[in-house]
Chain A
Amino acid sequence: MEVLGDLIGGLGVAMRPENFLLLFVGVVLGLVIGILPGLGGTSGVAILLPITVFIAAGNKVGAVELLAGLYWGALFGGVVTSILFNIPGEPWSVALLFDGYPLAKRKGRPGLALTSAFIAALLGSVLAAVLFTFFALPLAEKALEFGPPELLAVYLMAFATLVGLESSSPLKSIMMIGVGLVLASVGFDTLTGAPRLNYGQLWLLSGITFVPVTIGLFGIGEVLAAAEEQGTGQLDRISAKLGLSDFFESLRALRQRIWITLVNALIGFWIGVLPGTGATPASFLSYGIARQYSKNKEEFGKGEISGIMSPQASANAAGVGSLLPMITLGVPGSPTAAVIMAGLFQWGLTPSALLFVEQKDFVWGLIGGIYIGSLLAFVLCVLAAPYLAMIMRIPYAVITPFIIMISIVGSYTLNTSMTDVFITIIFGLIGYWLRKMKYPLAPLVVAIVLGDATEKAMRQSLIASGGSPLIFFFRQDSSTGQYTEFNALASTLMLIAIALFLLPLAQWLLRRRRRRDGSSAPAA
Chain B
Amino acid sequence: MKRYQIGTAAAIMLIAAAAMYDTRASALPEDVQLSPGGLGAGFYPFWSAALILVAGAAVAIRALRGPEGAPPFEAREHVYDVLKVVVPTLAATVALGWLGFYLVTAIYVAFFMWFVGRYRLWWGAPVGVALAIGFYLAFEQGFRVALPKSFLYTMGVLPF
Contact = CB atoms under 8 A, between A and B. Distances in A.
Contacts of A385: none
A413 B138 CA distance: 13
B57 to A, nearest CB: 10
Interface in A371-406: 395-398, 400-402, 404-405
B133 to A, nearest CB: 13
Interface residues of B, number: 73
B62 A171 contact: yes
B135 A405 contact: yes
A222 to B, nearest CB: 11
A185 B78 contact: no
A118 interface: no
Contacts of B113: 397-398, 401
Given A395-B117, A462-B39, A413 B147 contact: yes
Interface string A229-256: 0111000000000000000000000000
A421 B96 contact: yes
A191 interface: yes
B127 A185 contact: no
Given A400-B85, A459-B39, A38 B145 contact: yes
B49 interface: yes
A224 B78 CA distance: 11
A404 B74 contact: no
Nearest to B5: A437
Q: How large is the interface on A (under 10, 10 to 19, 20 to 34, 35 or more residues)?
A: 35 or more
Contacts, number: 185
Given A185-B45, A397-B117, A425-B90, A416 B52 contact: no
A178 B49 contact: yes
9 contacts: A36-B139, A39-B143, A175-B55, A178-B48, A178-B49, A179-B52, A197-B22, A408-B101, A459-B36
Closest 4 CB pairs of A and B: A397-B117, A467-B38, A462-B37, A189-B41
Interface of B: 4-5, 8-9, 12, 15-16, 18-19, 22-23, 26, 29, 32, 35-42, 44-45, 48-49, 51-52, 55-56, 58-59, 62, 72-75, 77-78, 81-82, 84-86, 89-90, 92-93, 96-97, 101, 104-105, 108-109, 112-113, 116-119, 127-128, 131, 135, 138-139, 143-148
